[in-house]
A and B are shown apart, each in its own frame.
Chain A
């Protein structure tokens, strides 16, 4: 009957319990019904103001959060680092405290520094939602990924999920690993050795470098983007070589004796980690992921607001 999260912030999947994740999913199921109605809006957060503070670029996540907030009837303010006093040298805490003085209840923050949301949560009173902190975590992406898998395959326990690509620079990978493991799924990563952190097996994650073998093993392939903007040195010889050895293409998928689900958190580099015919094929649930993103974020906002 009652549903309450164990935390008042969403800093990372690491800090959620399995029950928390299930409550978020069950609530998101109902919000998915809401956003498919003719009037896609409920009044739950009408007395809440949310600040979307993006210190790093984003299209999908930002629009998704903003839509989620609007569909819950919250008031929203948007902030992007490039057009703000951050460029004049203001500290993160000062910036946020100034925003909070204007009576903001929740903060959705994307920041290039890992741990920035934890720092805020320790220092201010509002609910914090991490929308990606550097290479650390991106919890709502992991939740919507797991929610999308659950929609396709049911309960995640025992399911085999493989994450392909640039694991080292990916916050999506870490959040996904935590989330899938909490739900009882088996996780493997696959990519060039230079893009897989050496301590990963300590998290109980399988490491593989052969794309075909990994595809034969998994039920779901979550393909990540090569994050060139975070790579200060060369991790592989060329994009062409990467796509030859680690890219997923139609011939590869057709040669498997089962149908696997292809996911991608976006933005896609077509022809690099995934070819266009795979991204647009019936295997792909990339656009469902985006749709589910709004429902899952509505659930997170709603449940955190309920905690006050």
Chain B
């Protein structure tokens, strides 16, 4: 993985997260009827970070947040060579009547988001569902899905690969673009 190009540096990364937080605050005020849900696996560190920043910025003490596994809802089951290992779903609150903000690190074909929306439907009927993507690969969509909040738009070829790295996981906050996905 030596040929990756940094498209979001550590400093810009922090600014982007802060901007997304402020956009969320604009629409959700004190987050009383809002919950943040990260799509496994990329959306989970994103939710953790945004949740933490939102608490710091707003001074609100409680914002409901959780993680949603979409493995069993994927439409490429039995169509890919190797099945994906399931991850944890953890939502200790009801989504019924809530404003849900789904979050994922990279919005690419839109299929994960579609799966997440059907998964979410099994937990209840939210008032409203919004989508936040740290990276939006806007020219690679297979489905008519668009994010409400976008960190950075990336124009890339289908075979390119975007990787989001986190301080608490990889040691540094940054986003890299690779010309090809490596095994």
Binding site for B on A (CB under 8 A): 1-4, 23, 26-27, 30-31, 33-34, 37-39, 41-44, 47, 72, 302-303, 305-306, 308
Contact = CB atoms under 8 A, between A and B. Distances in A.
B72 interface: yes
A204 B52 CA distance: 54
B1 interface: no
A26 B88 CA distance: 10
A308 B123 contact: no
Nearest to B80: A306
Contact of B83 (A2, A34, A43): A2
Contacts of B122: 37-39, 41-42
B15 to A, nearest CB: 31
Interface of B: 69, 71-74, 77-78, 82-89, 118-119, 122-124
A30 B84 contact: no
Given A33-B88, A34-B89, A39-B123, 20 more contacts: A1-B85, A2-B82, A3-B82, A3-B83, A3-B84, A4-B83, A23-B85, A30-B72, A30-B86, A30-B87, A37-B123, A38-B123, A42-B72, A42-B73, A42-B119, A44-B73, A302-B72, A306-B77, A306-B83, A308-B78
Contacts of B89: 30, 33-34
A34 B123 CA distance: 10
A37 B88 CA distance: 13
Contacts of B123: 37-39
A111 to B, nearest CB: 27
Nearest to B72: A42
A38 B124 contact: yes
Contacts of A42: 72-73, 119, 122
B73 A43 contact: yes
Given A41-B122, A306-B78, A308-B78, A34 B72 contact: yes
A113 to B, nearest CB: 31
B72 A1 contact: no
A44 B84 contact: no
A305 B72 CA distance: 12
Contact of A43 (B72, B84, B85): B72
A308 B81 CA distance: 10
Contacts of B82: 2-4
Contacts of A41: 122
Given A38-B123, A38-B124, A47-B78, A26 B73 contact: no
Contacts of A306: 77-78, 83
B86 A1 contact: no
B75 to A, nearest CB: 9
Residue from B71, B82, B83, B119 having most chain A Cβ neighbours under 10 A: B83
B83 A30 contact: no
Contacts of B74: 44
Nearest to A308: B78
B177 to A, nearest CB: 21
B45 to A, nearest CB: 15
A47 B85 CA distance: 20
Nearest to B41: A1
Nearest to A5: B83
A302 B73 CA distance: 12
A4 B72 CA distance: 15
A142 B141 CA distance: 45
A187 B118 CA distance: 44
Contacts of A37: 122-123
A183 B77 CA distance: 29
Nearest to A44: B72
Contacts of A72: 72
A308 B80 CA distance: 10
A26 B85 contact: yes
Nearest to A303: B83
A198 B126 CA distance: 62
Given A4-B82, A30-B71, A43 B118 contact: yes
A74 to B, nearest CB: 12
A71 to B, nearest CB: 10
